């Protein structure tokens, strides 16, 4: 007998999970189940939803946590077959707990591709939503129109909530709309494109910003179209400039070459391709690639390269420093110079394996003034920290750590989104939303600068104590 399962919505993971569990406990094979989301009934005479008897409560089964993570993301894919695919995987996992490790299994390949597509769509939404202003002063509201490929609006909305916390905004899409009023995130049914405003003064701001950051010498039309596919262009104010900027690019680059000779720039370090990439790793590497071309402030001009964060794609603890120094700028890796050595030593003493944490900086380009042969480090200012904050936020959303350790004032400013005195907050676990905590401590280079040996030893011990607090997070998870 065929069972018809009707979920409350396209993104009803909880509904899918409890139905799948009940079906599996009743030994109902995947081929005997038809899944769909409410509102997608094929016709008026579609069969009614199955009512499953209560499961045998004493029976249970476990699936790997990795499957739940995959399923939560894959269920956001547009493919109507996803519910059935996920149930088939669940069914098969009961027989083979290691099924997800078989990278060539067709169901595993398909679910992995789905997860990758959803993550990519989420990333595109983060990058290509453009708000337009409607109303004025106290009634100002920002509205954007976006057409996602998959059901990712609820997934992507918290990013905009954090990023534009002090604006009232709405993101309208054909499937669901997200709204933020400064306090609460809410969702309403999808709408038509005509609901979204088309022109406003922000358009000009976007256009002139884009024209400023457009670098004709680095123009790669194909890569540009992959990163910013044409289908997004009609909602992007800057898209109207692309044709003429591309057409003028070769003349502009000849002019650039004639205008000034600059020191050769080091090529961007690319990640080695891995045998089997996880989807979150994919999105971390696509973030890294995008950040490599960042022009959000002027610091890229003198730096060798963007120094992006480094570490596993999912960790419990993320360490944030200030900005790359001279050595990091050349190596393209964070914390490899003297401050990095100090950090490595302290991490070891605190019982933290650096390979198990993600290490990044609030500002991703080296800021310095040349003094003869050396490049003197300069502290980044607030506009530079703000311009770079998008990368920290996107790393945070991708890595999804439970604890962020802010080392020094610049890191604390980025983590809390405002100037945060270290002494008042140091060493305490502070809630920063999304179930995450932050811990503020000093920057390792502060220890290197202390002239007095006793003070240095004292401060080093305090730094280790702070890192030990972070270590409890790692070890607590291991124990749980
Ligand atoms: N100081 C930092 O804050 N970050 C680095 O990567 C190196 C030195």
**In 302-452, which residue ranges form alpha helices assigned H by DSSP?**
326-331, 338-350, 382-399, 409-416, 422-425, 444-449
Give the pLDDT score at 225.
63
Q: For 305-364, what is each residue's pLDDT tens digit?
A: 899 999 999 899 999 999 999 999 988 999 999 999 999 999 999 999 999 999 999 999
Which tokens in the block code for residue 104? 């060539």
CA of 24 to the centre of ligand 1 (A): 51
CA distance 197 to 207: 17
pLDDT at residue 181 greater than cutoff 90: no
Give the pLDDT score at 203.
57
CA of 44 to the centre of ligand 1 (A): 63
Give the pLDDT score at 303.
86
Give the pLDDT score at 61.
77
pLDDT at residue 261 greater than cutoff 50: no
Query: Using an 8 Å Cβ cutoff, are 338 and 326 in contact?
Result: no
Greater pLDDT, 67 or 40: 67
Q: How confident is the model at residue 273 (pLDDT cuts 50, 70, 90)?
A: very low
Give the pLDDT score at 130.
84
Which atom of ligand 1 is nearest the CA belonging to 337?
A: 7
Q: How confident is the model at residue 295 (pLDDT cuts 50, 70, 90)?
A: confident
Give the pLDDT score at 68.
95
Which atom of ligand 1 is nearest the CA belonging to 321?
A: 3
Q: What is the mean pLDDT of residues 150-166?
A: 88
Give the pLDDT score at 128.
84
**What φ, ψ does residue 371 adopt, rounded to 5°?**
-130, 95
Pocket perturbation via mutation, ligand 1, pick of 303, 304, 338, 339 by most ligand atoms within 8 A of CB: 339
Which atom of ligand 1 is nearest the CA belonging to 307?
A: 6
* Residue ranges around ligand 1 (CB below 6 Å): 321-325, 328, 334-335, 337, 339-340, 361, 443, 445
Q: Which domains does the chain show, CATH number per domain?
A: 3-123 (no CATH), 129-195 (no CATH), 203-254 (no CATH), 279-479 (3.40.470.10)
Which atom of ligand 1 is nearest the CA belonging to 359?
A: 6
Report the C-alpha dihedral over residues 32, 66, 73, 29, rounded to 10 degrees: 0
Long-range contacts of 44-47 (CB under 8 A, 24+ apart): 46/4, 47/2, 47/4
Long-range contacts of 457-463 (CB under 8 A, 24+ apart): 460/346, 462/427, 463/346
Q: What is the mean pLDDT of residues 382-411?
A: 95
Q: Output the average pLDDT for the chain.
A: 83
Of 33, 30, 71, residue with least CA distance to 49:
33
Q: What is the mean pLDDT of residues 239-243?
A: 63
CA of 213 to the centre of ligand 1 (A): 26
CA of 122 to the centre of ligand 1 (A): 30
The percent of residues above 90 in pLDDT, for the chain, comes to: 54
Which atom of ligand 1 is nearest the CA belonging to 362?
A: 3
The radius of gyration computed from the CA coordinates of the chain, to the nearest angstrom, equals 25
Give the pLDDT score at 340.
96
Indicate the pTM of the whole model: 0.48
User: Counting beta carbons within 10 angstroms of the beta carbon of residue 305, is it exposed (0 to 12), middle (13 to 18) or buried (19 or more)?
Assistant: buried
């Amino acid at each position: 007998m065929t069972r018809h399962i009707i979920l409350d919505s396209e993104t009803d993971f909880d509904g899918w999970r409890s139905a799948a569990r009940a079906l599996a406990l009743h030994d109902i094979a995947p081929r005997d189940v038809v899944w769909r989301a409410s509102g997608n009934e094929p016709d008026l005479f579609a069969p009614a939803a199955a009512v499953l008897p209560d499961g045998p409560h004493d029976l249970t089964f476990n699936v790997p946590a990795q499957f739940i993570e995959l399923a939560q993301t894959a269920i956001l894919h547009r493919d109507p077959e996803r519910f059935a695919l996920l149930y088939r995987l669940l069914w098969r996992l009961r027989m083979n707990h290691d099924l997800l490790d078989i990278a060539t299994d067709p169901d595993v390949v398909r679910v992995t591709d789905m997860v990758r597509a959803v993550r990519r769509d989420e990333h595109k939404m983060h990058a290509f939503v453009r708000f337009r202003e409607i109303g004025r002063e106290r009634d100002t509201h920002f509205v954007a129109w976006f057409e996602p490929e998959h059901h990712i609006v609820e997934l992507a909305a918290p990013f905009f909530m954090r990023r534009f916390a002090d604006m009232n905004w709405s993101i309208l899409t054909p499937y669901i709309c997200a709204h933020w009023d400064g306090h609460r995130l809410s969702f309403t049914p999808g709408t038509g494109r005509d609901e979204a405003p088309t022109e406003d003064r922000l358009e000009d701001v976007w256009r002139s910003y884009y024209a400023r950051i457009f670098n004709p010498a680095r123009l790669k039309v194909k890569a540009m179209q992959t990163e910013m596919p044409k289908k997004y262009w009609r909602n992007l104010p800057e898209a109207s400039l692309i044709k003429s900027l591309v057409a003028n690019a070769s003349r502009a680059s000849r002019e650039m070459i004639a205008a000034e000779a600059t020191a050769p720039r080091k090529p961007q370090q690319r990640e080695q391709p891995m045998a089997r990439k996880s989807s979150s790793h994919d999105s971390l590497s696509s973030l890294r690639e995008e950040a490599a071309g960042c022009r959000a402030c002027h610091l890229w001009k003198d730096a060798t390269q963007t120094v992006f964060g480094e570490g596993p794609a999912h960790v419990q603890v993320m360490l944030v420093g200030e900005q790359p120094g001279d050595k990091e700028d050349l190596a393209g890796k964070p914390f490899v110079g003297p401050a990095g050595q100090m950090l490595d030593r302290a991490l070891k003493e605190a019982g933290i394996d650096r390979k198990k944490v993600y290490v990044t900086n609030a500002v991703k380009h080296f800021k310095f003034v040349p003094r003869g042969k050396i490049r003197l480090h300069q502290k980044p200012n607030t506009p530079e920290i703000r311009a770079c904050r998008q990368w920290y936020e996107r790393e945070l959303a991708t890595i999804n750590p439970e604890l962020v350790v802010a080392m020094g004032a610049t890191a604390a400013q980025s983590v809390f989104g405002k100037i945060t005195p270290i002494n008042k907050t140091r060493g305490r676990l502070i809630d920063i939303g999304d179930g995450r905590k932050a811990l503020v401590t000093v920057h390792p280079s502060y220890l290197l600068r202390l002239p007095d040996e006793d003070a240095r030893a004292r401060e080093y011990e305090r730094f280790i104590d702070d890192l030990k607090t972070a270590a409890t997070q790692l070890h607590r998870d291991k124990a749980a």
